Every structure is written in C-alpha cells, then in structure tokens.
Amino acid sequence: GAGVSQSPSNKVTEKGKDVELRCDPISGHTALYWYRQSLGQGLEFLIYFQGNSAPDKSGLPSDRFSAERTGGSVSTLTIQRTQQEDSAVYLCASSLAGGIRHNSPLHFGNGTRLTVT
C-alpha cells in the first residue's frame, strides 16, 4: 500500500519568503509527527498531531513555524520569513491510533529538503 507521501521533495527558497511543506500520511493513521534533520544533527522533534489536534507543539523552534492538520489526514508545515538556519530535511511520519507507546511504529516519508539561500 501507499506509504507516507511528502511534497515537494526539494524546495529552494530565498531568505524571507514563506514556504509550505505537505504531508499525506498512511490512510487510517491518526497520529502524525513532524521532525527536522539538519546536517550533523539527529532528528529534531517539531510537533505531534492526534487527529486534528496538536497536543505537543513543544518542538517548534519559533513562532515563524506553524502546522495544521485537516480531516485527520493531510498536514501542512508552514515556515514564515525563512532564514538560512531553517535549511534542513523536514520529515513527516505517521502511526496508527495510540501511537508509539502502544506498539505502533512510526512510518516515515522521504522528506522535503529545504534550502534557504
């Protein structure tokens, strides 16, 4: 079956512009996660959704970052006024209801590589 789909796969933008990154989770997965992977860094947690609600937004780096999820499915991560330090691979993952703690592994997309020039 289809896995987690992210678009675009690559995005180059100028400093100061806004960008939107999209994630289509696996059908039926109610839990959705956004992570960021920078060069030489581990995966940095950004935000977690259960359905359309985001019980944990603790990882969003600044108020320039926001995310929403509609219909319990597609999620969009928006970065406003991009900065060069925002350059990274943004990964989306989904899991079944109950999430990680209930024995449901994360299924990752291939990510969006964002380059801010």
Give the residue among 97, 84, 13 at the shortest CA–CA distance from 51.
97
- Per CB under 8 A, the segment of 11-19, 47-55, 67-75, 76-84 that binds another protein is 47-55
| Residues binding another protein: number (CB under 8 A) | 30
The single residue listed with the structure tokens 């999209």 is 22
The three-point CA angle 47-50-33 to 5° equals 35
**Span of 9-17, 53-61, 64-72, 78-86 interacting with another protein by CB under 8 A:** 53-61
| 3 state SS of 102 | helix
Q: What residue ranges bind another protein (CB under 8 A)? A: 3-4, 31, 33, 35, 40-45, 48, 50, 55-56, 58-59, 91, 93, 99-101, 103, 105-111
